[in-house]
Structure 1
Amino acid sequence: MPKDDPETTALKKELNDLIAKLKADQEKLADAKLTDKCGDLGDVTKIRLVTKKTLKGHINKVNSVHYSGDSRHCVTGSLDGKLIIWDTWSGNKVQVIPLRSAWVMSVAFAPSGNFVACGGMDNMCTIYDVNNRDSTGAAKMVRELAGYEGFLSSCRFLDDTHILTGSGDMKICVWDLEAGKREMEFDAHAGDVVTISLGPDMKTYVTGSVDKTCKLWDIRDEKAKQTFFGHDADVNSVCYHNSGQAFATASEDKTARLFDIRSDQQIGHYTPPGAGGFTSCALSLSGRYLLAGSDDNDVHSWDTLKVSHTGTLHGHENRVTSISMSPNGVALASCSWDNSVRVWG
């Protein structure tokens, strides 16, 4: 690697000194630890989720799962080149959608349940209308959103006419689906944007990146509201707290964390008994439980307030790639490289 010139070295040092100063200023304001404040709280029960349904139909690694707003249906994307929409109550497939590219990395269900989206190594976000079928009987493709300079890592519907996407070109885009045009596009991180989580207000959102940071945004603004440091490796997943005041993260550095938006810093640090890095995370409806899917094939659970490990969901036979909490908080869907999808309740 070529050596940095003196000016670049000086700028890097200045930047690192500023970050160190910010961290020191934050620590001065952190007058108490979450575990100390919540020490007298009653313990929550050990998590006793069991597999209610094993959804089998994919014949290759399943990379992403996302619930519909009805808390009944979910969509999964696999390297077998298929999206499958499932009825998680019965365990039946509702639709199988063949994809033009098998390299799917992210899927999203519109809250209304009318549309699903996917994307990945094809550098494209593709939208399907669940209620309209094409000549083959599969959901009709209604939009292909192209123009990314990197893989599509994450997508979330704002509503039936707008979608938010993050990609390997470090950018975030907001798309008008009716016009098929970008409404906004901006550089968001200093590395691949990996994950997006929408706030309860559907106006703010959090992103995580391989640059080890998370950022808080408002869809009406191109500048980040806040930047959160702390992780030592890629932030693979973020999940907004239902209060709108905090969010959880899961990282390659084998930790999950809880960040408080009001105090602008990390307040919870969660480590597993295993040794795997984390691929995905979800919060229970109350926010008391934090769950994280891991490379060690399990989903781990913690009490967010007492920062204690509250259980492990065993069942998958390969790394857990994605988890999604149903909007009503009753069930958790997980998918894995073992080709299966599990519904826990």
Structure 2
Amino acid sequence: MGKDDAETIALKNELNELIAQIKVEQEKQADCKLAEKCSDMSDVPKCKLSTKKSLKGHINKVNSVHFGGDSRYCVSGSLDGKLIIWDTWTGNKVQVIPLRSSWVMSVAYATSGNFVACGGMDNMCTIYDVNNRDTTGNAKLVRELAGYEGFLSSCRFLDDNHILTGSGDMKLCIWDLESGKKTSEINAAHGGDVVSISLSPDGNQFVTGSVDRTCKLWDVRDLKQIQTFFGHNADVNSVSFHPNGFAFATGSEDKTARLFDIRSDQQIGHYEPPNRTSGFTSCALSLSGRFIMCGSDDNNIHVWDAMKVQHNGVLGGHENRVTSISMAPNGMALVSSSWDQYVRVWV
């Protein structure tokens, strides 16, 4: 073992000791557990969402889905090299957008409904204008944002002219779509791939999840890191901001979902399924914040009562891994995508 190796191990051990000390200090500040505090609350009814529409159009694994701001249209991205924009009310395809690369890992729908974005193993974020057509009649390609040394794992529109991206090279970037240039960039945002991004309700902050097992809170306006949250024992595959703006939920490869409170700077909820057999790929919160939902490798979407920390039920129907879920902004529907090639609308 070289001197550098020994020094690295010593530094890692020191870092782990500091993290453990931080956790101890945080726990000292917690005067009670969430489940204890909410024990006298009445139980919520079982979550009875059922499949309203089963959307068939893709011919390969569907890796990502995201609702638009109108809570009616959603976009899905698949390994068949297509983006499909769906009308979730009727179940009809609105547009099919052929992609230059089929390795899609993330999609995003602008709140305005004017643009969709996607990216993946092509190390690029591609933006399409859904209201304009190119010479072939497809949605017009507006921008191809290159400059990543790793796959594009997540993207979210800040507005019609700015998009936030996270990638496998640990970068976070904000892009100006008019010029096609970065306005902000953080090179080592995490100690591993940035896997998931969720914007706060006011749009001024966002939270990221990473394979380094941590979540971080950032300020959109200057891309400054505000807080780091520890707790998970494996990759944090998904993060979702609480509707109140003061907390966020996570879904992880360690087979747990968790709820972190920003004001108390620590984890307040720990959620496990009845049988801990599969990791969680995605998470979402109901509009009230009372339900936490997680898509899983076991083909189901698990639901918990966030306040009483109780498993509330399972949404079953997919026949393969659930890759992504997205809650409608108005809280009236949930969409999910799966390796079974279907997109489901739950109401």
For the aligned pair, the TM-score class normalised by the smaller chain equals over 0.9
Q: 5+ unaligned residues in a row in structure 2: which ranges?
A: none
Q: 1:27-176 counterparts in 2 under 5 A?
A: 27-176=27-176
From 276, 289, 292, the equivalent of 2:291 is: 289
More deviation in 158-167 or 5-14? 5-14
RMSD (Å) for aligned C-alpha atoms: 1.1
- SS of residue matched to 1:64: strand
* TM-score (ref. length: structure 1): 0.98
- Mapped partners of 1:238, 1:117: distance in 2: 19
Q: 1:226-305 counterparts in 2 under 5 A?
A: 226-274=227-275, 275-305=277-307
In structure 2, give the amino acid aligned to 1:218.
Answer: D
1:184-220 CA-to-partner distances (Å, cap 9, x unmatched) read 1112100000000000011100000000000000012
In structure 1, give the amino acid aligned to 2:230.
Answer: F
Aligned length: 345
- Mapped partners of 2:131, 2:110: distance in 1: 12
1:38-60 CA-to-partner distances (Å, cap 9, x unmatched) read 00001000000000000000000
> Aligned-pair distance for 1:4?
5.0
- Mapped partners of 1:13, 1:51: distance in 2: 48
Matched with 1:205 is 206
In structure 1, give the amino acid aligned to 2:246.
Answer: Q
Matched with 1:331 is 333
In structure 2, give the amino acid aligned to 1:325.
Answer: M
- Mapped partners of 2:30, 2:161: distance in 1: 42
Per the alignment, do residues 2 and 208 of structure 1 end up closer, same or farther by CA in structure 2, a change over 3 Å counting?
Answer: farther
- SS of residue matched to 2:209: strand
Q: 5+ unaligned residues in a row in structure 1: which ranges?
A: none
> Aligned-pair distance for 1:3?
8.0
- SS of residue matched to 2:41: coil
1:16-51 CA-to-partner distances (Å, cap 9, x unmatched) read 221111111001101100011000001000000000
1:258-300 CA-to-partner distances (Å, cap 9, x unmatched) read 0000000000000012311000000000000000000000000
In structure 2, give the amino acid aligned to 1:50.
Answer: S
Matched with 1:21 is 21
> Aligned-pair distance for 1:340?
0.2
In structure 1, give the amino acid aligned to 2:220.
Answer: I
Matched with 1:188 is 189
- Mapped partners of 2:83, 2:101: distance in 1: 11
- Mapped partners of 1:90, 1:8: distance in 2: 57
- Mapped partners of 1:167, 1:290: distance in 2: 26
- Mapped partners of 1:36, 1:310: distance in 2: 17
> Aligned-pair distance for 1:234?
0.2
- Mapped partners of 1:167, 1:279: distance in 2: 17
More deviation in 214-223 or 91-100? 214-223
Counting aligned pairs with the same residue, the percent is 76
- Mapped partners of 1:120, 1:8: distance in 2: 32
In structure 2, give the amino acid aligned to 1:300.
Answer: H
In structure 2, give the amino acid aligned to 1:46.
Answer: K
- SS of residue matched to 2:332: coil
In structure 1, give the amino acid aligned to 2:23.
Answer: K
- Mapped partners of 1:96, 1:223: distance in 2: 37
> Aligned-pair distance for 1:136?
1.7
- Mapped partners of 2:223, 2:346: distance in 1: 38
Contact 2:184 2:222 (8 Å CA) reproduced = no
In structure 2, give the amino acid aligned to 1:265.
Answer: Q
- SS of residue matched to 2:150: coil
1:141-186 CA-to-partner distances (Å, cap 9, x unmatched) read 0000000000000000000000000000001000000010000111
1:105-162 CA-to-partner distances (Å, cap 9, x unmatched) read 0000000000000000000000000000112211100000000000000000000000
> Aligned-pair distance for 1:9?
2.8
In structure 1, give the amino acid aligned to 2:287.
Answer: L
> Aligned-pair distance for 1:2?
7.2
- SS of residue matched to 2:224: coil
> Aligned-pair distance for 1:251?
0.2
- Mapped partners of 2:17, 2:280: distance in 1: 29
